[in-house]
Amino acid sequence: MAANPPTPRTSSSAKPKSSDFVVKHAPEIKDRIVLVTGVSPGGLGAIFVERLSTCPTPPRRIILAGRSPAKFEEIKAKVEQNGIEAKVLALDLASFKSVRQAAEVVNGWDEGVDVLVNNAGIMAVPFTKTEDGYESQLQANHMGHFLFTGLIMDQLLKRENGRVVNVSSERAGEMRQPTERGS
């Protein structure tokens, strides 16, 4: 059976927001463990985490992962004020060494991870190569997430209905809805 064609959008204001996504999928994350990369204050990841922590059926724990954990303390405090356990994980996706260290930490957890949200990204930075010899934007946005996901896959498979969500953004604050057949 052919899938329904996507609904055409007539203006950018018709695009769903992260808050719509969180409300729609709130029952699926109730009491789950969610790890989100790239939660810098003011960014898409931080907005997502804040909305996630205020949804009617919140997760049990949110792990805030990124290269500057000290920057996440305010976001962590907001999550905890909403009665949700929060952890901070040091993860620099532009360093395979850091990715492996973060994966080692996650793999040491007994409970696993229900949902991995690969959100982190850099854009329009000057051309530089990482310590691993790759262009920084390619490694931070793609290769680092690929390696991290692969290294913690057993943690996702421990959990019933473990999920990996890869975020790409047209603009901060907007998210695409999953298709009905591919949700």
Residues with active-site annotation? 168
CA separation for the pair 46, 71 (Å, rounded): 11
Rg (CA), the chain: 17
Q: Which helix (H) or strand (E) holds 94?
A: none
Pairing of strands 115-118, 85-90: unpaired
CA separation for the pair 169, 164 (Å, rounded): 16
Tokens of 2: 């052919």
